[in-house]
Amino acid sequence: MPPRCELMPEPIAMEMICQFNRFKPPKFEGGTDPMVYEEWFRRMKNLFEIMECPERFEVHLGAYQFEKEAEFWWGTVKPRVGEPVLTWNQLKAVMDAQYCPRDVRRVKEREFLCLKQGQLGVMEYTVKFNELSRFAPNQVATEEMRMNHFE
């Protein structure tokens, strides 16, 4: 049996990549819209749960989906050879700082707290309520709290 090429991923890694790609995972280009970032992160987390993806693959598979600005950003922050590998939660913290910093989260939370149905239809209001509520998790921690904020 010939020696295994060091550049080839181990078989389980290749299997994970193939399984991951079959789900057509979303790409992430970076940018300044925190909703796009939050949506991407949520979809990736759901995909990893469905796949029962081992934690050691999550960051690699997630970063594989970076394109354009996000790919350049990742090149500046990813751990170098010999440094500890990031966990998915650590990646989220680094990405939060870049793509949804605290001041942006506060603005979105205030937007949620000031949200009124006004001229919006019920469905439009519900979508906006659900979109913005993720920026105010302490305001909607229970169903009763959600109902109190839902106008």
Residue 8, pLDDT above cutoff 70: no
Give the C-alpha separation, 137 to 76, whole Å.
31
| Listed residue (103, 101, 109, 98) closest to 137, CA to CA | 109
Query: 93-105, pLDDT tens digit by residue?
Result: 999 999 998 888 8
Structure confidence at residue 77 (pLDDT) = 94
Query: 40-50, pLDDT tens digit by residue?
Result: 999 999 999 99
Per-residue HEC secondary structure of 6-53 comes to: CCCCCHHHHHHHHHHHHCCCCCECCCCCHHHHHHHHHHHHHHHHHHCC
Percent of the chain with pLDDT over 90: 54
Query: For residue 76, what are its two tokens?
Result: 């500046």
Q: By mean pLDDT, which of 62-66, 72-76, 116-120 is the weakest?
A: 116-120
Q: How confident is the model at residue 151 (pLDDT cuts 50, 70, 90)?
A: low
Q: Considering the chain, what is the average pLDDT of its residues?
A: 88
* Higher per-residue confidence, 62 vs 131: 62
